[in-house]
Amino acid sequence: MKLPYDALETRLALSPVPMRIQLPGGDSVGPAHASLTLKLHDQTAIAALATGAIGTVGADIVEGRVEFEGSVRDLMAAAQALLSTDPAQDEHTSWWRQTLAWYVSKARHTTAKDAKNIQFHYDISDDFYALWLDPYRVYSCAYYRTPEMTLAQAQEAKLDHICRKLQLKPGERLLDIGAGWGGMLLWAAEHYGIDGTGITLSKNQYAYVQRQIEERGLTGRVRVLLQDYRELQVDQPFDKISSIGMFEHVGRAQMPSYFATVRRLLKPGGLAMNHGITAGGVDNDELGAGMGEFIDRYIFPGGELLHVSVALHEIARAGLEMVDTENIRPHYAKTLWAWSDALEAQLPGARAILVAQHGQEQGEQALRAYRLYLAGCALGFEQGWVALHQILMTHPDGRQETGTMRGAQSCYPFNREYIYAPPQAGATPRRKP
C-alpha cells in the first residue's frame, strides 16, 4: 500500500488548491487545514486518484464512495492538476477500434433508444432545471455579447444572434429541431414574427412548451411535436431551420442521416443553423480520463462528440453548403460556470426537488452528478477539451433562369455585416414578450 500513497502525495503536490485526502481507516494525506478535502470510504479510489482517472473519482463521488468538502471550483482546479493525460486526445484511434465504435454508435441510436436517452436527462425534473437556468430555460451555450451581461441577457443575445444569422423575417416558417423548453421558438415568434414548429423527444419539455404557447397567445403561429427528427414528414419544406444543442445526441453513425434530413426539410435557398458541442480532438468522440464514461452513465447516455472537421465533412456530403462557422467555446465556459454557481447557491432546494421526485438515494446521487457535470464541463470548455460551433449552412437551389443555370444560390449574402449591424427602422418587428 505504500506505493499508491506515495503516488498520491506526488499528485497532491501538483494541485494549485491545498487538498487533503482522508483515507479509509482514518489516516490522511495532505495538509490538515486544506480548503478541499476528499474522504475516501473505499480503497479503490486511491488508485484512481493516483493515476489521474478523474472520471472514475467522479463516479465514486456520485455513488457515495468518496465525499468532498469544499467548493466545486476548487475541486475542478485540483482535478485538472491530477490529470496524467490530455482528455481531448483519444487513446484508441486504431482503424478497427474506430470501426467498432461506428457499429456501436449505430446500435445505440435507434429512435426508441434515443427517446429513452433524451427522457433520462431532460425529464429528470422541470423544477430542478428552473432553479439554475434563465427565464427562457435555454439549456445551451449563451452568447456574452458584452462581458458584463447576466446569464439571462446572454441567453437572449444568443437567441437573437441565431435569429440574425438565419435572417428570420415575418411569416417565414421556422423548424427548431430539439426545441428544448421552447426558448428559440418563443423568441423568434415574438421578436421576428415567424411561424414556428418545434420537435422534441422530452415529454416534460413538450408539455411545458404547449403551456407557453397558450399562455403567450401564440396558438396557431407556434406548435410543438413529440417526435423524432427522422420521422418528421411535411408537405412543404421550411424556410429556415435551427438545431440548438441537439447535434450532440445524434451519434457519429447517424450523422449522414441527420444532415440529409436537414436538407430534406429545408427549402432550396434556405438557411439552417447547427449550434452544437464539438470534440477538441480530431478522432475522439468522448473525453478521456474517464470523463466521457461519467457523462454517458450519469448525464447524457448515448451522447457522442465530433470534431468540427467531421461535422463539416458530413454537411458537404449531404449536399449542404457551409457558409459561416463560429467557435464560441469561451462563452460556454462562462455559461456553465453561471449554471454551476446558480445550482451551488440553491443546493437545499435542488436536493428537496430531486429527492421528492426520485427518492432519497437516487435524488442525492443525481444532485452530486449534476454538481460535478456542470463544473467539470465548464473546466473542459476553458481548457479547450471541447468546443461549441455555430455552423450556418444553406440548401443551394440551383434553379435555372432564362435557360441559364445560376448555380449554388441562396439567401446568404456572403457578408457578415448583416449579423452585427443594428436593425434598420421599420425593418424586422421587435415585439416584447
What is the per-residue pLDDT across 170-219, written as a single tens digit (0 to 9) for each?
999 999 999 999 999 999 999 999 999 999 989 999 999 999 999 999 99
Among candidate residues 141, 163, 377, 411, the one labeled active-site is 377
Which H/E stretch holds residue 358? helix 347-358
Angle at which helices 151-165 and 329-344 cross, to 10° = 150
Active-site residue, 377 included? yes
The pLDDT score that the predictor gives to residue 221 is 96
The pLDDT score that the predictor gives to residue 254 is 86
For the stretch 5-23, pLDDT in tens is 666 677 777 778 888 888 8
The pLDDT score that the predictor gives to residue 415 is 84
CATH level 3 topology of 98-420: Rossmann fold (3.40.50)
What class is the 2-82 domain?
A: alpha beta
How far is the C-alpha of 285 from the C-alpha of 296, rounded, in Å?
11
Name the DSSP class of 254.
G
How far is the C-alpha of 111 from the C-alpha of 124, rounded, in Å?
20
Residues of the chain falling short of pLDDT 70: 1-8, 84, 88, 90-122, 284-290, 302, 398-408, 422-433
CB 384 within 8 A of CB 346: no
The DSSP code sequence of 6-68 is HHHHHHHHH-SS-EEEEPTTS-EES-TT-SEEEEESSTHHHHHHHHT-HHHHHHHHHHTSEEE
Copy the grid coordinates of residue 354.
Answer: 430531486
- Which residues make up the CATH 3.30.1050.10 domain(s) of the chain? 2-82
The pLDDT score that the predictor gives to residue 2 is 45
The pLDDT score that the predictor gives to residue 187 is 97
The DSSP code sequence of 104-152 is HHHHH--HHHHHHHHHHHHTS-HHHHHHHS-TT---S----SSTT--HH
Residue 78: which region, alpha, beta or left (left: phi > 0; alpha: psi -120 to 50)? alpha
Residue 293, judged by CB atoms within 10 A of its CB (0-12, 13-18, 19+), counts as middle
Indicate the pTM of the whole model.
0.87
Q: Which of 289, 381, 374 is nearest to 81 (CA)?
A: 289
* Radius of gyration from C-alpha coordinates of the chain: 23
The pLDDT score that the predictor gives to residue 414 is 86
Residues β-bridged to residue 47: none
- Which residues make up the CATH 3.40.50.150 domain(s) of the chain? 98-420
How far is the C-alpha of 174 from the C-alpha of 228, rounded, in Å?
17
The pLDDT score that the predictor gives to residue 410 is 82
Q: What share of the chain is helix, strand, coil (3-state, %, to 5)?
A: 50, 15, 35
CA distances from 49 to 17, 19, 76, 368 (A): 15, 12, 13, 18
The pLDDT score that the predictor gives to residue 101 is 53
Residue 122, judged by CB atoms within 10 A of its CB (0-12, 13-18, 19+), counts as buried
Copy the grid coordinates of residue 131.
Answer: 432553479
Q: Which of 431, 2, 1, 3 is nearest to 217 (CA)?
A: 431
The pLDDT score that the predictor gives to residue 425 is 41
